[in-house]
Amino acid sequence: MNLMHLFRLSFLLLFLAASAGTPAGAATKIAVIVNDKAITSFDVDQRAKLIQLTSRRSGAAARKAALEELVDETLQLQEASRLNIDVSESQVDSAFSDIARNVKLTPSRLSAALRQQGVRPETLKDRLRAQIAWSEAVRLRFRAEVKISDADVIAALREQESESANKSVEYSLQQFVFVVPSKASNSYKAQRKREVDQFRSRFTTCEEARNIAEGLKEVVAMPARRLLESEIPPNLRDKVKQTTIGRAVEVELGDKGYEVTALCDKREFAGTADARAALEVELRAKEGQQMSRQYLRDLRRRALIDYR
C-alpha cells in the first residue's frame, strides 16, 4: 500500500470514528452557549421532534420551544450540580419506564417507537434527568417556605360549593384548660371540677366563654381550631355532632388539668374530606410552581446565554 492510499484510509477511519456517535445527517452547529455549555442544532432538532410528538406545536414554533426548553434545562442541571444533586441512571430509567407504562408499552418498545419518529430515546431521558434534578433543587431551596394553612384549604373547598353535590362539615372548636398541678390532692381536683361545671352552665357562645374565662384564675383559653368532620378524633366526633353550638362538647382530665372543649360554630359546605387532602397537595404544588418559575428566572438573569 502506497503512502497516498495509507493517508486516505487513515483519514476515512478518523472521519468514521469522529462521526460514530452522531446520526447520519446530524448537524453539529452550535445553536446557543449557556454559561460554558454548548447546545447544538442537532440537540434542538431532536427536542423539537419530541415536542411535536407530545404537543400540538410544529415547525418553527416547536423549534423555538425546544431551544428555550434546552436552555432552561441546562441552567437547571448546572444549578443541581452546584447543589451536589446527582441523578442516577436508575432514577432516569424508572421515570422512562413510568412513561412507557402510561402509554401501555414496554421501555424497549417505547424506545423503538421514538426511533421510528426520528427521536433518540436519550432525548426523552435527558428531559427526564433535568426534571428530576430540578425538582430536587427546588425542594432543597424552598422546603421551608411552601406553607399552606388550614384556612387556605378550607377556602379552596368552599370555592367548589357550586361544583359538587357532596357535603362536608367544618367545625370550629375551642378548648379551655382549668389548670391542675400534677401533684394536686383529690379535694383540689374536686374543687376544680365544680368550677368547670359552673363554667359550663354560664355560657351559650364561645365569645361568652372566653369573657368568663378571662375572669377565672388559672384558666387558659386555647386558640380556636377549624376541623373537618374526618379530622376530629373518633372518640370525640359523635359528641361534637350531637352538641349544640355554643355549648361544651366534653370535659376531660388531661396532663395539664381539666380540658373543656366547646363547639363554637359549624358549617356545611361542598367537598369531601378526601378532597381536603387533594386540595392541600394541589395548593402546595401551585405555590411550589410559582417559586420554581421565579427561581429559574433568577438563574436566567444571572447566566451568560449566547444565541448563535
pLDDT score for 9: 32
Residue 159: name the closest of 272, 240, 269 by CA: 269
Which structural domain, as residue segments, surrounds residue 127? 26-145+289-307
What confidence score (pLDDT) does residue 135 get? 87
Can you give the pLDDT at residue 187? 93
What's the confidence (pLDDT) of residue 152?
55
Judgement on whether residues 137 and 30 belong to the same structural domain of the protein: yes
Q: What is the per-residue pLDDT for 290?
A: 78
Per-residue pLDDT, 15: 33
Please report, for the domain that includes residue 263, its CATH number: 3.10.50
- Residue stretches of the chain with pLDDT short of 70: 1-27, 143-167, 269-288
247 shares its domain with 204:
yes
Is 278 part of any domain? no
Cell of 101: 407504562
Q: Is residue 206 part of a domain?
A: yes
Question: Residue 1: its pLDDT value, please?
Answer: 45
The answer on 131 and 36 residing in a single domain is: yes
For residues 81 and 45, membership in a common domain is answered with: yes
Give the total residue count for the chain.
308
Same-domain pairing of 96 and 172? no
Whose grid coordinates read 472521519? Answer: 15
Shared domain check, 220 and 136? no
Provide the pLDDT for residue 16: 31
Residue 182 grid cell: 400534677
Would residue 236 count as lying in a domain? Answer: yes
How many Å apart are CA 77 and CA 129, to the nearest integer? 8
* Distance of alpha carbon 148 from alpha carbon 55, whole angstroms: 32
Verify that 183 and 129 share a domain, yes or no. Answer: no
